[in-house]
Each structure stands twice: as C-alpha cells, then as structure tokens.
Structure 1
C-alpha cells in the first residue's frame, strides 16, 4: 500500500515536469507574447500615395494602313518592252526611269514631223512673200482683186498648216518621251508584271506594268463612333486644333508612333453609326506598309485632372475592382474603385480614390482587407511596374 503511494507521487512529479517543459517550449525566446496569444505578424507591404496628373483621354480603335499615293504604272504608248530599270520592291525617286519601250518607231515619227514642219515653214514663207508683192501691185491697180484675194487665202492656209505641223511635231516628241516610263512619285515599286521582249499596249484597261506606293508619310484609316466624333473630333476641328492619334502594330504592346487626324469623312455611315477618319504618321524608316493592321488610339476631349495608381495595386473581386487604402492605424481597408484608361503601367481611377491616399502597391496578395500591415512607403513612380514608360502616355 505504501509502495503504491510512492509510485503515484513519482508519476505526479514527472507529469508536472513534462507540463512545465511543454509550457517553456511554447514561450518565444524573446519573451514576446504575440505568437503565444495567436496573433499573426503584420504583413510587410509597399505603399504609395495615389498620383494626381493631367491626362488626355484616349479611345482605342482598329484600322488599316494606307499609302498616300498609289499608282498603277501603265504604258501610254504601245510597243516592245526593251528594258526594266529597277529591282522588284526597290525604293525609287520621282523621275526615275522604270521601263523602256522600243523608241525607234516614235523617233522616226519625230523626224517625219520635223520634215513636215520644214515644208510648212517654207510654204508659209513663200505665200507670205507672194501676198506682200500682191499688196504692192494692188495699190497700183496692177493686179485683179480676185487674184489678190486668192494669194491672201493661200497665205492664211499656209500659216494654218504651219501651226498644224508644229503641233504634230510636239505630239511626236511627247509620244517618244512616253517610251521612257518614269516614276510619278517617290515610293516603293512592286514587282515587274511584264518582262523584256513582251509587247505592251496603251490604255487604262491594260495590265499594269507594276504598282508604286509612297512610303512616308503614311495614312491609318479607322472608323469612330458617333459619340466619340461629337465629343473629341468635332470640338477640336471647330477650334482649329489638331486631334492627336497614336499607333501600334500587331506585334507591339504599346503605341510606338504619334500622328494627327488628317481627314474626316463628309458623312456618317447610317448602317454602322460610324464615321471614317484618317490619321497621318511619319514613316521615314519604311517599316509601316500599306495594308497592315494597326491599333489606333484617338485622343480628345481636352486635358483633365485624374487619379493614377500602379496597375499592380488593383485587385479583382469577382466583377469588381478594388484597392487597399491605409488608415492612420496602418489598417488596409477595402475600397471599390472604377477604372478608366490604362496609361502604360499606370491606371486611371475614375471613382473611389483621392490623390495622396496611401494604397498597397506591392504585397497585395499577402494582405486581408481590414488587417494591420507593416508598410514601407515608396513613390508611385518607382513602385513595381510603374516605370517611366508611362510618361509617354501622360500629357
């Protein structure tokens, strides 16, 4: 019985020691109580004040590039093609010779016209001299009036034949010049559709020898809706100011080129409720080709003040967008926002946020709305992804 009491006492002491050891291991070495009490550590996040900037609203559209000048090169005289003076796809200058048609028949026509002109000049000179003699005889009544009138008519007829001969010679020279087919504008030629040795015919219905398109500047044509036209384009036209346009290609993320609206159609398409616009862009490097798809961004409506944040600071809650706004107690509060245009890495906030309010810009996924955070204040301009490439989109 006594032995049993000793064993019970020993077991009681051992249990107490185990409990004390377990309690010791639960206490942090620093003596803190946060983990012991079940409180999670504050998440470390970067925060930045919302920016206030003057911006220009942009509307996005799809368009196609068009050459300012497009010329189908056709022969103006018939004959045998004797030379092709360009390489397919080459750049040419206005006046460069592209093709040569056998000039010999047309050179012969020039010579024949020159001979006819010489004969007409001789005939005109003779009849003029004869008329002058008849005029002197008439004053002395030494010639019949009828004979004088015949000489007068002969002189007039010879003068008319002289004019016709001069015109025929000029026409022959023009046709001879047409045997050298030149570029009417600067641009890039397509391939030669007809090779040397083939006979070509003059006429608008004949197959073009090649096609020539201008390179720079170049147009981008696109259709805008009625509201955009009334809000952005029409007021600018009335004020005499240019409407800015930015252009990006299919393989580009942003908008690499800037231009202005060059042309507005004279009517609205009632079927699509759109109006055709055309913007002009510099293309000195020749990288823009007619027919390419283009992403177009149309600016207008005038500059305005807007709130901008790093797009990484925006969270998604089903069909809503939100940011986490810090209060004085470093608590991250849920705030629903309405988004506007995207300007590079910065996002316009139309509703829900004021300039200067501190929001979480990095570490959003580590924070629960309403929780306390450990903030590090950074500039919105240096927040992740909010680099200075956005400056190009800000006005």
Structure 2
C-alpha cells in the first residue's frame, strides 16, 4: 500500500512538471512577437525659394587717394600742426618750414623789380625824347634804334623780375605744407629742428603719408572662367555683371562684403572697375568695388570677402545642410515614402543659402526628407515620421 501511494505521488509530480514546461513553451512565442516600434524621425518637405548664386572672393582694401607729404623747398622744420594718426581735411596746415630765409628772398626780389621798373621808366622817357629829335634830324636813326633797344631790354628785365617775385612768393607759400586730400595721416617722420630736403628730385625728405578713408576701394581678382561666365550671362541679359557694368560704363553691379570677424555679408557696395587685361602668370583679372566708410571701420590693407552676383534669379529647392549625407564622393538624402519606408536618394548640391543647401537635381518638391534622426534611419526600414514646420519661402542669395 505504501509503494502504491508513492507511485501516485510521483505521477502527479510528473504531470505538474509537464504542465509548467508546456506553459513556458506557450509564453516564448508571445515574447518573440513583441517587436520594438519603428524609430521616430523628423521629416520636412524641401523649401522652395528664389535664389541668386553668388561667387565669393578674397581681397584687400585700398585707399582711393594715398599721398606722401614732401616739401617743395628745403629748410629747417619749424612747426608740426597735427597729432599722429589724426583725421585731417583737405587744406589743413600740417608742417611749417622756417619762413625767414624765404621772406628775405621775396623782399630782395621785390626790390629788384622796383629797380627794373625804374630803369624801364627812364628808358621809356629817353625813347620819347629821341622820337622828336629823330624827326628834327637832331640825332641819327642809329641813336634812335639804340634807345629803342634799351627800352625793350628794360621791359624784359621787368618781366624777369616779376617772375622772380612770383617764384619767391611761391617758395614762401611752400613753407606751409597743407593736406592735399582728406583722410587719416600717419605718424610724423621728421622732428622739429631737422633739415628738410625739398624739390622735385628723388632724394626729398618724406614727412608723413595721408590715405583717404571715405569712400574706400576693395580690390580682388577672379579667374578667367568666372569672367567668361559673367560675360555670357550678361550677353543673355540674365545678370548685370558684364565688364561694362562692373566697370561702371553704363551701370554698376551691387556686391556685398564681410570682414574676417563677421558671419554675414552686411556691407553693400558697387563695382566701379574691371581691368582691361588678364594676368598671364595667374590667369586672373582684377576687379574693384567701392564702399562707403563714414565710420572708418575699413582700413587700407585690410582683408575681407566679397560676394559678386554669379547667376540670374531662379527657383530652387533647399533642405537643411544637416540633412545631407555623404557616400564617398556622392551626396544623398533619406526620403520617407508614403508607406513610411526609408529610401536613399542621390542629389546634386548647389550653394549654401542661410544654412540651407540648394539641391540642383535628384529631389522632388513633395519628398519628405529626414532632417533629424538620420542615425536611426536606414534604406528599406520603416520609421515613424514626425513633420517639422518649415520656414516660409522667401527670396535669398546663395553662396559657395
């Protein structure tokens, strides 16, 4: 009886274990069916805008007027009438050379002029008397001719002394050196009391330099291919960047500029010159723009970047630059199909416009482009798209 009881208990235990194993086998398929949800991504349709391509070039500011201050007469420097680095106006007094020797020379020239005039008056009176005497046959014709010659020599002497007075007056005026142009003057190169060498020879003394600041020019060079592109666009009437326009021979092209510490092209100027030859050694041609500089921010010699219109306005599709992926040399974007599967589309990129990239080909205006969550997307998988509000369409410019 005891053995039979144990046999029943063992059978019951086997049944319980089998029931547990069967339950585990039924729960395992249920756990396998609970797959993770599709990853969430943010999508947006391409932004459609009117774009104008711009080419960027690096250049340097140059002064419209740059003048070296040198004396026209030699002498000792007597006074300096400016502070180093000061802004001066045209006609302002800058230097004074000791006037005393030149005032003395002027007084001597005036005295010589008075002497010549007195000699002319005496010769004129002598000739008047000789005119009556020659008619009365009191003096010979030869004597009359001699007195006529003396009068003419006296007239020439007066003219020479008048020129000497004018030259002495000029020399005296040249002792005051004034600013020939408005602009900013540099530091003085000579101290008071030093001998200044003047004149028109090459060994004259440099006293200071003045550069004009408002307006100011910006010079840069662009390659031959760009020059041809501008000419062909202008020939089609698409953009006013031909040589005639750039050189202000009937128009001017608006350009924009930014300094090295600025992010945007906020300074507006106009082209006023393009050179007439292409440099053989570099294959580039020189262009020049003019910018207002009332605040004196731009300084000659300063570097900056300039934007020049490189195309006619056109309508383009733009996507955030962060949505662009790279596959070796090719660029692509991830697009979500209507069934929420991801597809890879290869695109041709254009220029950058305010943080968005111009797409020249490979994309449709209705495509839903993944702009956030690219690391979670793969071609062929399903995703959960979330629509991101896009910026309003507006005209803008594109740059390289």
Q: How many Å apart are 1:377 and its aligned residue? A: 4.3
Q: How many Å apart are 1:294 and its aligned residue? A: 2.3
Task: Give the conservation status (yes or no) of the 8 Å contact 2:54–2:398.
Answer: no
> What are the equivalent positions in structure 2 for 1:144-183 lying under 5 Å apart?
144-183=140-179
Task: Give the conservation status (yes or no) of the 8 Å contact 2:49–2:396.
Answer: no
Moved more, 172-181 or 55-64: 55-64
Q: How many Å apart are 1:269 and its aligned residue? A: 1.8
**Paired residue for 1:385?**
none
- C-alpha change, 1:392 and 1:182, in structure 2 (3 Å) is farther
TM-score normalised according to structure 2 size: 0.84
Q: How many Å apart are 1:12 and its aligned residue? A: 4.7
- C-alpha change, 1:303 and 1:143, in structure 2 (3 Å) is farther
Moved more, 177-186 or 114-123: 114-123
Q: How many Å apart are 1:98 and its aligned residue? A: 1.4
Q: Distance in 1 between matches of 2:336 and 2:49?
A: 18
SS of 1:306 mapped into structure 2: strand
Answer yes or no: is 1:188 the counterpart of 2:184: yes
**Paired residue for 2:8?**
2
Q: Distance in 1 between matches of 2:203 and 2:36?
A: 87
- C-alpha change, 1:23 and 1:231, in structure 2 (3 Å) is closer
Q: How many Å apart are 1:161 and its aligned residue? A: 1.2
**Paired residue for 1:308?**
318
**Paired residue for 2:237?**
none
| Root mean square deviation, CA, Å | 2.9
Task: Give the conservation status (yes or no) of the 8 Å contact 1:47–1:362.
Answer: no
Task: Give the conservation status (yes or no) of the 8 Å contact 2:186–2:208.
Answer: yes
SS of 2:157 mapped into structure 1: helix
> CA offsets per residue over residues 115-171 of structure 1, 9 Å max, x none?
222222222233223323333444444443222222221221111111111111111
* Number of residue pairs aligned between Structure 1 and Structure 2: 378
- C-alpha change, 1:210 and 1:17, in structure 2 (3 Å) is same
Q: Distance in 2 between matches of 1:115 and 1:324?
A: 98
Task: Give the conservation status (yes or no) of the 8 Å contact 2:41–2:372.
Answer: no
Aligned partner (choices 374, 377, 397) of residue 367 of structure 1 = 377
Moved more, 166-175 or 332-341: 332-341
**Paired residue for 2:203?**
205
SS of 1:285 mapped into structure 2: coil
Structure 2, gaps ≥5 residues long: 1-6, 235-241
- C-alpha change, 1:196 and 1:312, in structure 2 (3 Å) is same
Q: Distance in 2 between matches of 1:186 and 1:314?
A: 52
**Paired residue for 2:238?**
none
Answer yes or no: is 1:81 the counterpart of 2:77: yes
**Paired residue for 1:45?**
42
TM-score normalised according to structure 1 size: 0.85
Task: Give the conservation status (yes or no) of the 8 Å contact 2:259–2:303.
Answer: yes
- C-alpha change, 1:22 and 1:325, in structure 2 (3 Å) is closer
